Amino acid sequence: MLVLGIETTCDETAAAVVERGDDGEGRILANVVRSQIAEHAAFGGVVPEIAARAHVELLDGLIAAAMDEAGVEFAGLSGIAAAAGPGLIGGVIVGLTTAKAIALVHGLPLVAVNHLEAHALTPRLTGPLEFPYCLFLVSGGHTQIVAVCGVGDYVRLGTTVDDAVGEAFDKVAKLMGLAYPGGPQVERMAAMGDAMRFAFPRPMAGRKDANFSLSGLKTAVRQEAERIAPLSDADVADLCASFQAAVIDSVADRLDVGLAQFKARFGAPAALVAAGGVAANAALRAALQAVAARAQTGLILPPPALCTDNGAMIAWAGAERLALGLTDALDTAPRARWRLDETPPPAPLHNTRARF
């Protein structure tokens, strides 16, 4: 089974071709990603309108490059998968409409993939992994603990009540005058700082639910920074180190609770899996090892290029759905919001065929 996958929900334009064998084994034939960081850097964050325009300009070329690299013709594909949400609606429309056009012209099945489902199924692309497993999705837009019980069968155990972890890293970076995207910059500064200098709160620690909260911690960092301003490089490093340590302690506590809930409801997980851009953080990765060890389960960290947004994960989720006979109508609507546990995908808004 050969599937083209298209990703346009945020600030990465991506196209990939993935193969799925009858035994469920995955192989990436091409995975082309064009980050729009340069287009958004001047604004200190993603500007939805700029992102949508960039997706329009880039997507055709990226699809052609992916098909070329894979050595595949459209007629040779088994289906077209596109992220149909959740995300910035302008970008989602660009990717989904492009996928619909290709599907219509070449008579191929369309799979409208939930972007979060694609993150959730990625570890099954990189190696054999049985259900159920526990996913920690930690990116700029999402912070969730999810029980992945099967394709289309997800139970959200915890989520953030305010900011996502990556969003908090980005906001703290902006506060310190560090470049966008801030996560890697905060990690770099934190490596040089004293994590004990500032006693920031460990949000939600000790609570029985498995939810996250980041906005109070972010405010505590801002207030401390204002109190000791002007900031020296050492101050910035210490603030970053103390912030990162607080985030990681909070995350570890929340995951301990989430994994305990997982065991109580679904039995032992096949593994703890991390995905999303923040999963590239080395200090967090070390903490996740400890969390997994405490829960007596294995830890799977897909390679960073498959943790951040990419087309291969969309193509793979499409292949997993196609293998189960799950396809979507050409009038499937793009969605800005789409919870992972709201499955199967919603019915089309209208019954007219091929409505774009």
Residue ranges in contact with ligand KG4 by CB under 6 A: 10, 139-141, 166-167, 169-170, 181-184, 187, 276-278, 280-281, 308-309
Residue 328: contacted member of Zn ion, ligand KG4, none (CB under 5 to 8 Å, by partner type): none
What residue has token string 């599907």? 103
The least CB distance from residue 281 to ligand KG4, in Å, is 3
By CB under 5 A, name the one of 117, 309, 320, 328 that touches Zn ion.
309
Residue 320 binds Zn ion, judged by CB under 5 A: no
- 143-181 core/surface letters (b: 16 or more CB in 10 A; e: else): bbbbbbeebbebbbbbbbebbbbbbbbbbbbbbbebebb
Comparing CB distances to ligand KG4, the nearer of 46 and 102 is 46
Q: Which stretch binds Zn ion (CB under 5 A): 31-39, 44-52, 225-233, 301-309?
A: 301-309
Q: Are 11 and 37 in contact (CB under 8 A)?
A: yes
Cβ proximity to Zn ion: between 122 and 213 the closer is 122
We find the least distance from the C-beta atom of residue 106 to ligand KG4, in angstroms, to be 29
Chosen from ligand KG4, Zn ion, none, partner binding at 277 (C-beta under 5 to 8 Å by type): ligand KG4
Closer to Zn ion by CB, 83 or 147: give it. 83
13/111 Cα distance (integer angstroms): 18
State both tokens at 356: 């774009």
Closer to ligand KG4 at the Cβ: 100 or 119? 119
Using rule CB under 5 A, residue 12 touches Zn ion: no
44 binds, among Zn ion, ligand KG4, none (CB under 5 to 8 A by kind): none
* For Zn ion, the closer CB: 170 or 309: 309
End-to-end CA distance of the chain: 27
Q: How far is the CB of 327 from ligand KG4 (least distance, A)?
A: 26
CA distances from 50 to 35, 37, 42, 95, 309 (A): 13, 11, 12, 15, 18
Task: Determine the interface stretch with Zn ion among 82-90, 124-132, 135-143, 328-336 (rule: CB under 5 A).
Answer: 135-143
Helix (H) or strand (E) holding 249: helix 233-266
Alpha helices, DSSP H only, in 33-114? 37-41, 48-70, 89-106
Cα–Cα distance measured from residue 215 to residue 211, given in angstroms and rounded to the nearest whole number? 13
203 binds, among ligand KG4, Zn ion, none (CB under 5 to 8 A by kind): none
Q: Which does 243 bind (CB under 5 to 8 A by kind): ligand KG4, Zn ion, none?
A: none
Is the Cβ of residue 143 or residue 242 nearer to Zn ion in the bound state? 143
Distance of CA 59 to the CA centre of its chain: 20
Give kind and range of the element (H or E) at residue 134: strand 133-138
Spatial contact of 184 and 235, defined as CB atoms under 8 Å apart? no
Judged by the rule CB under 5 A, the positions of this chain that interact with Zn ion are 139, 309
